[in-house]
Amino acid sequence: MQGSAASTEGLNFRYGQLKALDGLDLIIPRGVSFGLLGPNGAGKTTLIRVLVGLLKPQGGIALVLGERPSPRVARYIGYMPQLAALYNELSVAENLDFFAEVYGLRDGGKRRQRIEEVARLVDLWERRAELAMNLSGGMRQRLSLACALVHEPRLLFLDEPTVGLDPELRVVFWDYFHGLTRQGVTLVISSHTMDDAAHCDQLAFLREGRVIAQGTSQELRAATGDPQAGLEEAFLYFARRKEQDRVP
């Protein structure tokens, strides 16, 4: 776990009788785009919520930037939830300004500069005075991402970040994400789409609250023994192996 951007050991979390995380072990290196890939219900969103400090582990250990999740480390973290968490009565610029303040970006000049930079990135600068409640679903998704980026976090958690984006803007986002990792920022990206997964430096396959495989896209595909295998085939290969391991 030493030197990792985030890590878990034996992590457990339940919603009533439902095991969302079941002894999950994971190490996320620094400075990479790291994909959490799995079907709905695999535990991806719950894992992210534990790592950002919104949920408290019910067992095991979770570390972020070498510490347990806390308000002290939260200022170094950006989080884009699956459902946009915006203030509908505030404008685009006011939402960005609010989140910049919450994340500790106190310098007024720097804050205004970052607000313009991220608003332009998501193509909302010309609509900066528009209320969030009047934005389309895709625009709200873009604003949510901008709010997570405005304070220049060291570690960025993105839960299904490209849902609702048109293909052209998705390319812009991924170009920006790759630029962030070149600067040493770590991205943790939850997704169930192979398109997003293919852009990630490393991947973890999640199923039923556990990591069933971890590695680069090439390593995971090569493990199947089929040179033509894609990531979907790789996921199914590791899922079948886990099922076989359970058989007495």
Q: Tell me: the pLDDT tens digits for 155-187?
A: 999 988 877 677 887 888 888 889 899 999 999
The per-residue pLDDT for 173 is 81
CATH number reported for the structural domain that contains residue 145 in this entry:
3.40.50.300
Residues 6+ apart with CB under 8 A from 1: 7, 9, 27, 63
What is the overall mean pLDDT for the chain? Answer: 90
Residue 27 resides in a domain: yes
Give pLDDT tens digits for 208-227: 999 999 999 999 999 999 98
- Res. 41: pLDDT tops 60: yes
In a domain, 26, yes or no: yes
Q: Is residue 43 part of a domain?
A: yes
pLDDT of residue 246: 63
On whether residue 210 sits in a domain, the answer given is yes
* Residue 1: inside a domain: no
Give residue-wise pLDDT tens across range 6-20. Answer: 999 999 999 999 999
234: domain range? 6-246
Q: What is the model's pTM?
A: 0.89
52 band by pLDDT with thresholds 50, 70 and 90 = very high
Domain count, the chain: 1
Assess whether pLDDT exceeds 50 at residue 1: no
Specify if 50 maps to a domain: yes
Which pLDDT value is given to residue 195? 80
